[in-house]
Amino acid sequence: MRFPEDYIGKVLHGDCLEIMNNMPDGCVDLVLTDPPYGIGESNEKNRARGNKAVATDYGSYSWDERRIEPEYIREVIRASRNQIIFGGNYYSDLLPASPCWITWDKRTADIGINDFADGELAWTSFKKSSRIVRYMWNGMWQGNMKDKEKRVHPTQKPSFVMEWILARFSVGNDIVFDPFCGSGTTLVAAKMLGRRFIGIDIEERYVKIAEERLRNTTPPLPFTTEKMEQGCLP
């Protein structure tokens, strides 16, 4: 099979480093991904947060026990024309300086004190100004309470946030690649916006979940002003 043509629209099961090693230079337009940070979100840390609440048990896996090795970052950059990497602050020693960071403001200050971060940072390769996307995402509280997303992964991102990013940093028939696709939110967002996509995950369980989510996604939907405002508090 040839990259990327024969892999478009697929979710691959395996170690993304091994798969990326066979990808030609710059063969995908954009990597939008959220790699493991090495902070233990798949295990005990996620299961018991604070004194008053117990977080959802997503099971125990080894994928977030430590940071990914530098060669993963090098291969991501080599195989793509542009990159957006969540958790870029955990990998700042491996990434070049950039004027364009994306801040996801989770609006957690609106619902009281908790031990989750108030926001997340994504490093980008773009030579643009930094941007902020605001969308509440904390336990049962979500920016769109009328159409809540089911959370099936401990580090799952809202579809709204990934669509917001893709609407601004990709175009038309771009190939969007997520080598750490987890439950497939990046791929769902790409499909919703009519982008081509490829995903990889090392956990077979999440590959199956991502495939199911994609089967239940009907594209394309225009990313309208009304939809943007659903998740953006004033």
Q: pLDDT at residue 209 above 90? A: yes
pLDDT category, 114, cuts 50, 70, 90? low
Domain of residue 191, CATH code: 3.40.50.150
pLDDT of res. 162 = 96
Which DSSP string do the residues of 30-47 spell out, in sequence order? EEEE----SS-TTTHHHH
Greater confidence, 130 or 221?
130
Q: Are 94 and 73 a contacting pair, CB within 8 Å? A: yes
pLDDT tens, position by position, 51-109: 444 455 555 565 556 789 999 999 999 999 999 999 999 999 999 999 999 999 988 76
How far apart CA 149 and CA 192 sit, in angstroms, is: 15
172 pLDDT higher than 80: yes
Average pLDDT, the chain: 84
Distance CA 158, CA 136 (A): 9
> What global pTM score does this model have?
0.83
pLDDT at 140: 64
| Res. 48: pLDDT tops 80 | no
pLDDT in tens, 121-170: 999 999 999 999 998 867 666 667 677 777 777 778 998 999 999 999 99
Give how many domains the chain has, as a whole number. 1
Q: Which stretch of 10-14, 42-46, 136-140, 171-175 has the lowest confidence by average pLDDT?
A: 42-46
Question: Domain containing 176: what range?
Answer: 5-230
